[in-house]
Structure 1
Amino acid sequence: MHCIRLWAVVFCFQFRLRLLVIKHQIFRAGIVHFSQSTTDPDKDVKCYSDGALVIAHDKIVALGPYKETATDYPNAQYHDHRGRWIIPGLIDSHLHYPQTEMIACYGKQLLHWLETYTFPTEKKFAEDAYSRKIASTFLRQLLKNGTTTGLVFSSVHASATDILFDAASEQNMAIIAGKVCMDRNCPPWLQDTAESAQRESASLIDKWHGKGRNLYGLTPRFAPTSTQAQMSALGELAQQYPDVFIQTHLSENMDEIEWVKSLYPDTDGYLDVYDKYHMVRPRAVFGHCIHLTDHEWQRLGESGATAAFCPTSNLFLGSGLFNLDKARAVEANLALASDVGAGTSFNMFRTYGEGYKIAQLQQQTFSALQGLYMMTQGPASAYNMENAIGNLNPGTMADFVVLSPEFDELSALRLADTASAQDMLFALSMLGDDRAIHQTWVAGKCLYNQTEVI
């Protein structure tokens, strides 16, 4: 018995010693997140009005009510954010880094937009200096808006993808990116081939996928810009690398859908084109999905793939209204996405706000907590990354955002009497912008601090 007591004393002493050696930081604020997958985010949300988030190095080590949690970390560096809220780092599931400079250009609809703005701009990414400049600006905009993980389309140039991964690696950001593949229906100075797309994509996978926090996404721009030979070559890679992401566009525009039918007459619809080439599976993320048939929704739901809802882009290009109820009916994985540069903001709260309006136009519900879930835990679970991102669970990477909801006179007036996370998030979706982002932390380091911005 004496030995047992002695062992317990030694163990407690060693535990306390470790707490002293490891540099802990404790953040006090309101906290809201989802600790696990759910079909009912309004019910299964974890919320602390006076919470504590504890990190050590690049990981979260504790989360809970402040009074209960703080006593275990008496020597932690203290960050007092009372009056603010902490949420997980946001996930933007579909956006284009080469289109950063094109945001807010007057356009018509999808195909005109591509020909007039997208292709001429992406030509510039043949120059490494230009790619580095835009990659730097792009990542700063993500951080400034609280986004810590993005599923990013690069250009057709493999070097531009290298440069983006390099820039993200310097900041230890979790970025999923891929070289765009196009071997037809685009300017000749942007075309690759089936062989070069496969070879360069495989080389980039070997170089970047799973290295640090980088992950690779096979990226056929969309079916009309890839021949059957190129789709087949990329489909071989999809089978060879089952944990690699696939990102592309699907059923964004009615003219686009008719175009696909003419180019792939032997397939049963747009989604079936990707299915034929082994691209409809978990970690496949399809941007838009506005005009899917019931059969396509059913297939998407059973496959484990994800539909990326891009409301600001869909409205800006007049593409149509995403049907949340159909997606929910088949239990499809859903994620929110900015789709910059046809999307009109890097800010995911504003993105949700436009999604709310799209739901309203169809007499559908889309609460602020449902929106937060679709930019945090929802996609993290769909991508099998919930042990690293998307929540504030102990053991995950310390990617989180400190919000200042009362960032100006009007927001302070609106939120003066609210203690509800749901109400706070909804108000930010209508009134907020990057001014509501006080700090963005990535892997335990503050990479954006509003008070230090010149």
Structure 2
Amino acid sequence: MSNNNKKVICGNILDFVDDPTIAGERAYRYFEKGAMLIEHGKVVKLGYEQDILNGLHSDVKVIRHDAKLIMPGMIDTHIHLPQTEMVGAYGEQLLSWLTEYAFPTEKKFADEEYASHVSNIFLDELLRNGTTTALVFGTVHPQSVNAFFKASQKRNLRMIAGKVMMDRNCPEDLSDCAQSSYDESKALIEKWHNVDRLSYAVTPRFAPTSSPAQLQKCSQLLKEYPDAYLHTHLSENKDECEWVGSLFPDAPDYLGVYEQAELVRKRSVFAHSIHLSERELCCLSDNNAAISHCSTSNLFLGSGLFDLKACEKHNINVGMGTDVGAGTSFSMLQTGNEAYKIQQLQGEKFSAFKGLYLATLGGARALDLEGTIGNFNLGCEADFIVIDFAATDFLEFRLQHAHTLHEKLFAIMMLGDDRCIEHTYIMGNCIYQRDANSPFAAPLSPSLTEA
């Protein structure tokens, strides 16, 4: 019987089975000289190399990444496709930044050919940084989402995206209306949701740019398609929060606007969520909604410091998001770097284990995809990355002085970036290779093929 659909990946393997804050050292699995057996793009066996390879049929392909770190692909729970070209725009806070930079850039996505061009750049950059799944904002134009999903489908990626819905407090040529936003979103859901590895997110930009009527249309879509996502912003900036209060005087707070529209639910992901009250924290927890912690953009725009401990206390699922373009890097390693600093400023610890958990299994839990992506449990899709501890001369030097696993991982989280990602695999197939001239496949050792 042919084993063409099987392959074994060898290297030092790390993944997470729980939150390190809850489970401590039991939260992660680490196999030095480990191996993972993949069949039809899914994990069928995980363990030590000597155990996996022993008795394996000789025609099973073995791919070796000796002395490298193999981890699940990173999961970015909040990022903007159209803001790719304006990363690092100078000098504004949230509301003026939207007017000065974001809105003018998004107007270009009325052209589907342009949206396709940027989608390809965007996805290639994600893969180069080891991100294999993302929850993505398009623009108000349906063609932006069509272009993105086409490019994702071509790469066989698990991606979630949606058309922005906004019918007020925005430029006229970026505005829809409650009914048209419903109609266009519904058509996109019918076309793309649950096709291959793609999912749809109903995407009101944030409360100030949606009328109560439009938020009700969002709710209608989610009732019609209950496994779709809700993706929006929440409590990013204090001026924004005050604005929401003036626009929705009958709501108890910012989250209450979404709650009144029945949008706080499982598979609802709220980006930022910095300035939350106790009531809002309880509401998120009670309704199994999730938060995307966007550390880099929160610092870049001066928005505030995310209270991770409060979310842990309330058992709220949290993932990490780069929030490109207010975020300044596609790298989830660099996003973890900034998350560490945010906790330091509040007198709290943030370990490399916590950071890498949030970037993998934590993200999967936030997206209600545990058991599908996020770790190497049996049956999970084999999206994973290979991290090079010697990506730069200095990193190699620094890691010579790191003695424990955590010390090495923390140095990678602080000092690492896209250069550390040597390979990115999608469903067991290498889709990105940092050095195309570097051989990474090796034949199975004869000593291990004897049945």
| TM-score normalised by L of structure 2 | 0.94
What is the deviation of 1:394?
2.2
1:57–1:417: structure 2 CA closer, same or farther, 3 Å change rule? farther
What is the deviation of 1:22?
3.9
Corresponding position of 1:286: 270
Counterpart-to-counterpart distance in 1, 2:11 and 2:245: 53
Counterpart-to-counterpart distance in 2, 1:142 and 1:128: 21
Q: How does 1:219-368 map to 2 (within 5 A)?
A: 219-368=203-352
> Residue 118 of structure 2: SS of its match in structure 1?
helix
Aligned residues: 436
| TM-score normalised by L of structure 1 | 0.93
Matched, 1:35 2:17: yes
Segments of 5+ residues of structure 1 without an aligned counterpart are: 1-16
Counterpart residue identity of residue 224, structure 1: P
Does structure 1 retain, via aligned residues, the 8 Å contact 2:266–2:289? yes
Counterpart residue identity of residue 412, structure 1: E
Segments of 5+ residues of structure 2 without an aligned counterpart are: 439-451
Counterpart-to-counterpart distance in 2, 1:416 and 1:82: 17
Counterpart residue identity of residue 62, structure 1: K
Matched, 1:48 2:31: yes
Counterpart residue identity of residue 438, structure 1: E
What is the deviation of 1:122?
0.2
Does structure 1 retain, via aligned residues, the 8 Å contact 2:294–2:327? yes
Corresponding position of 1:439: 423
> Residue 235 of structure 1: SS of its match in structure 2?
helix
> Residue 21 of structure 1: SS of its match in structure 2?
coil
Counterpart residue identity of residue 149, structure 1: T
What is the deviation of 1:56?
2.3
What is the deviation of 1:37?
6.4
Corresponding position of 1:394: 378
Does structure 1 retain, via aligned residues, the 8 Å contact 2:19–2:362? yes
Matched, 1:112 2:96: yes
Counterpart-to-counterpart distance in 2, 1:107 and 1:72: 61
Corresponding position of 1:206: 190
Counterpart-to-counterpart distance in 2, 1:155 and 1:382: 23
Q: What does the per-residue CA deviation read over 1:340-359, in whole Å, with 9 as the maximum and x for residues that have no partner?
A: 00001000011001000000
Q: What does the per-residue CA deviation read over 1:391-415, in whole Å, with 9 as the maximum and x for residues that have no partner?
A: 1122111100011022111111111
The alignment-based identity, stated in percent, is 44
What is the deviation of 1:418?
4.0
Does structure 2 retain, via aligned residues, the 8 Å contact 1:95–1:153? yes
RMSD: 1.5
Counterpart-to-counterpart distance in 2, 1:448 and 1:309: 27
Counterpart-to-counterpart distance in 1, 2:385 and 2:308: 27
Q: What does the per-residue CA deviation read over 1:209-228, in whole Å, with 9 as the maximum and x for residues that have no partner?
A: 11110000000000000011
Does structure 2 retain, via aligned residues, the 8 Å contact 1:257–1:270? yes
Counterpart-to-counterpart distance in 2, 1:35 and 1:22: 30
Corresponding position of 2:158: 174
Does structure 2 retain, via aligned residues, the 8 Å contact 1:165–1:208? yes
Q: How does 1:102-181 map to 2 (within 5 A)?
A: 102-181=86-165
Counterpart-to-counterpart distance in 2, 1:332 and 1:23: 39
> Residue 135 of structure 2: SS of its match in structure 1?
strand
Corresponding position of 1:62: 45
Does structure 1 retain, via aligned residues, the 8 Å contact 2:167–2:214? yes
